[in-house]
A and B are shown apart, each in its own frame.
Chain A
Amino acid sequence: MSVNDPVLDDLRDMFAWFEGPATPRPRARRPRAPRRLILVGAIALVLAAASVASADGLGLFDGGTPVSPQVQAQIAASSQGAPPALDPGIEAGTAVTLITIPTEQGTASLVVSRATRASYCDGIAFSWLGDRQGLGCDGPVESGTVPPAIDFGQAVLGILGRSPRFVWGHVQPAQASTVRLDLTDGTQRDIPLTDGFYLTELGAHDQVDRVEALDPSGAVLAAQSESPVGIGIPTTTP
């Protein structure tokens, strides 16, 4: 059948009207109650670490700095009105900032929120807040102690416009004291842990080859060497 046809031409015209702008809208977890993005001027990375918060009693929420009301509302909105399959189970008003780092495009934060139950994304939800956001949910945070494990994810440029590039993740804090990034150019970078979490910005051409969790003596407790292209890499142990 020829694709030049009045009916198919109607279809093409309709496509042109309905295809909309070519960029995805920020990820919204309230499908029936559209949220409006609040331009907070800062980029926040949100982690809803359900298993960590509830299972190992790390006291994350005692040591963190409460986030702004706007960010709190954004996080809570993830659960408001969301159908069960999309609800990360955010406990509203509990988000705290654990780590803040400066970037070329403003401040980036790692924020952890209590979760009421295991979420559909296996316990960890994160999203950018600000004028570009919505990297979704991936990579469960491992809160167990045996065997030790480290996980990490990488936010990739270009999905939602120009964003800084980060590596972030979690390791069992009772055992590890530092995270070491091995870059493909042979250099290494040590990153401090905050309650087991870490967050660092990558240079434009940095490629992570391996992430290691080190104990205070420098011994490798756990490592992840799978290529971190994308976000949310499964955990492995050496």
Chain B
Amino acid sequence: VAEPSDLIQLARAARRGDPVAVDRFLETVQPLVVRAVRLVVGSGSAIAEEACQDALLDIVRGLPSLADPERVRAWTMRIAMRRAVRAARGQRLRDRLSGTADQIEGVGDPTAVPERALLVHEAFAALPVRMRAVAVLRLSVGLSEQETADALGCAPGTVKSRLHGARARLQRALDPADPATSSLMPARRPT
């Protein structure tokens, strides 16, 4: 990924309609967009691939209206997350209705993944979509709290609480017997 200043310069030129800059801008943001969308929607999902491409097209279309090139990374992720969240919700509904995940070949091959990562993946997939988006933007894309908030259209405090919530749920799912996590479980009513 280009240094932010390079990305900002590219965004400025691309916004003006310079086709070479548009090309280079897309090449630069594509890896971020594709990875982030895939992680939120679910790697190996055909719906995720659709969302990746739709997000990239949205970004191309939206370039002329990019208001602040200084915040282009958050802007790009805002577009990507809009597609990702929508696709993830649709994917979850389809999975529930069909009982099967919508998998395609070649992406996220589970046979090569360590067991721990598979467990984390399963637990992550069960998180609410917005929590997944926050986790991806903060931990994979590397956005700041403020940038993540900009990208998801929420307050920085919401970003913090969603990441905290994601962590708590993951810990419960991964180590349910760990006393350290027991306090995170909902309190039981006395019987």
| Interface, chain A (partner B; CB < 8 A) | 1, 3, 5, 7-8, 10-15, 17-28, 30-32, 34, 83, 86, 134-136, 138, 156-160, 165, 184, 204-207, 227, 229-231
Contact = CB atoms under 8 A, between A and B. Distances in A.
B113 A18 contact: yes
A201 to B, nearest CB: 13
Contacts of B112: 17
The prevalent SS among residues of A at the interface is loop
A41 B43 CA distance: 29
B53 interface: yes
Contact of B56 (A19, A159, A204, A205): A159
Interface of B: 17, 19-20, 22-27, 30-31, 34-35, 38-39, 43-47, 49-50, 52-54, 56-57, 60-61, 63-64, 94, 102, 104-108, 112-114, 116-117, 120-121, 124, 135-136, 138-140, 160, 163-164, 166-167, 170-171, 174
A229 B17 contact: yes
B139 A158 contact: no
A94 B121 CA distance: 43
A51 to B, nearest CB: 22
B174 to A, nearest CB: 7
Contact of A32 (B25, B102, B163): B102
B22 A156 contact: yes
Contacts of A229: 17, 22, 60-61, 63-64
Nearest to A160: B53
Nearest to A209: B17
A79 to B, nearest CB: 14
10 contacts: A10-B117, A22-B35, A25-B49, A27-B53, A31-B47, A34-B46, A83-B94, A136-B54, A157-B19, A229-B64
Contact of B60 (A3, A25, A156): A156
Contacts of A134: 53
B115 to A, nearest CB: 11
A159 B135 contact: no
B104 A25 contact: yes
